[in-house]
Structure 1
Amino acid sequence: MSSSSSTVDMDPDVALRLFEEGATLVLLGVPRGTELGIDCKSWQVGPRFRGVKMIPPGLHFLHYCSVNSPSCGGEIGPKTGLFLTLKPREILLANWDPKEEDLDFSASKNEEEVSRVRATLRELDPYLGPYPYEVMRKWVSLTDRLSEELANDLQPLSGRVCAFSDVIPETPFTHTKDRAEQPRNDTECQSMREGLDRLPRMKQREGTELRFSVIPEKTYPPGATPAEITQWSLDLSYALETVLETNHRLQPLNLLGELQFAFVCFLFGNVYEGFEHWKRVLTLLCRSEEAMRKRKDLYLGLIAVLYHQLGEIPPDFFVDIVSQNNFLTSTLQDFFQFASGAGVDSTLRKRAEKFKAHLTKKFRWDFDADLDDCDPVVVELPEGVTVD
């Protein structure tokens, strides 16, 4: 983002209101060439960049990654992001820490420093890029279920959402002697598995983990009969209710906010774990037949969330990731089948039908086809019988 960014396309009244009421991010010392973005848009930082102004109050996702100097190859580092909730006219101050290659917001706690910046804001103004107003509606539609409290509960205790996990050895070797005493084998590895087994076991550094709801591995209650195991393995309602009771008992619709949080982490933060959790939650919701009959509001909300999410992802996203094993089409096929079943609220049924028609037209997906038609048929032959 360069200081030449303008608000040419912004409605003058909106521009004035954002100028008067909007928050300001003052980001000092960010190296030239750094990729930095807020919400749905990112830029390459120019030499005059000092921050972002006219930011609508509310929840935002700031994301950035350092770039080596051209002499070092200009390689882009892993992306770091953080969720921020900004108040009207708030000034948030951060300095770039070259050693950590990260933004240090500790200066924001210094009232004298913030007051000094506020007093010189007019002088800083030419070096502040305006918030990309053209993406505001998109951002709001992707996060309308995600509250400040929920975002704080889900993001790591470190306050940073990192594309690559920060891992450390499970057994710390603080001295050379400790490492020397570990079993060694100087012969060549015979397989990749053998090589991996020789590497030290790693774990994620405490405080850097995303704090998603835990999806139970067993989808049925303790002591379930074989019939109940079959029932709750096909209908994931028991597992869904367990997740809601454990994590979102007072506000079940917060699960939709968690779905949005995971999606934003993946789409704008490059966090693959976010995509995996998005898939798990989506599978849980779409394959819970009994819950669909009981929780009308949750499922009406799900359709709205998915409508905006599927409308914003890049075209090659489906080809590269989502279409693997027909994940999305098969999951939504189950959802539409359950939504048309007996006992489902008529408003939800009609909304699901319209959503199905929209996806069929937009992506040319056929939800009525048998997705297993192309699978090879495996025929079990009696023992001793052969085929010539």
Structure 2
Amino acid sequence: MILNNRITRITVGILLLILAAAVLLPGLTGLTSLDGTVNARFATLNAPIDGEITGAPPRIGTPVAEGETLATIRNERVNRTVLASLRAEYRTALDRATALERERDELVRLRDQLAERLSVFQSATISSLERELRILRKRVEVSRAQDVVAKVDLDRRQELESKGIFTRKMVEAAEAAGAATGGELEISNLTVELLQQRLDAVRQGIFVVVDGQNDVPYSRQRQDEVIVRINDLNTRIAENRTRANQTEQQMIEEEKRVRSLESATVPSPFDGVIWARSVVGGSNVVLNNEMLRVLDCRELFVDILVPEVDYDEIYPGREAEVRLLGRGEVFKGQVQALKGSSAVIEKDSLAANEPETEERNARIRIMLEPSALNTDFANFCQVGRTVQVRIAKHNLRITQWIKGLWFSLF
């Protein structure tokens, strides 16, 4: 029979060897995983303010560019009480400063008028004192002449007395007259000095006290009062101006705050595709409510599970080949991180589920190199597609396999 033919038996044996080699060789030459999934992260966009969505946000699956406006929020119920109060306070401070400046300007004009009057009074006083001084100096000259006459008369009488012509009484009368003229001369000189001092003081704008009476004119007194009032007004004007400036700064900040609460736009943080949407045009949103999820296709990766006995065969930097299930195209990748079977897995903002297992499998994350997948926005960058991953072994390591088998048996 044909089945008992030697050639047939040899052929069947060769086919069985080839089949065994085809089954065992991939496991000996590399690690293959069929439970991988293309995955990526997404950015969650929350509402920056309370308000209402104007316009329709992009639909799910819509490609978006970095900086593109995805949603606009308007809020017509913003509290503007503080801003109105600051504006009223600002206007009040400016009005007060303006009113005080008008009062100060009027007082400045009054001060100038009083200064003119004082100047006229000072000029008149100087002229009067100069005339009095000239009169007193003439009197001094007369008194000096009289004093000379008295001295000459005294000398003549004393000479005649020595000759027995005049009596002693006549000489004494001449002495008394000489003493009187000398006193008058001294008084006149002192009066001239006093008047000269007054004149010098008036020329300097100082009006001295005469006979216990204050000789300071009313214009000077009123001018001093006006100057004090002007200084007080300048202080109050500066205070109100400072207050107005401070209020203006507060008002600017409050206006910025109100504008930021009245309207806000939500831009796309990067080039991607709308993954999920929880609002529509006209929806009311609250601060920090989730609105959209944008898929980040810039970094695609694959999470796979491999037996933990092969943990040491895989390390960061190892190259890997990734093939989408149902497609022949192979994409390059590189091992990014490894975690043991008992490692705590922190949930991340991933678009696809990570593979789960109850066996002793290590978790391997493979980062895909940039390819056409990163811009395949129409298909969500193939996120969620099942892939086959293969990582080649450097050697068969039969010795290590035998040692592991011996350790397990004995």
TM-score past 0.5 threshold: no
Which of the pair is proportionally richer in helix?
2
Which of the pair is proportionally richer in strand?
2
TM-score normalised per structure 2: 0.14
TM-score normalised per structure 1: 0.14
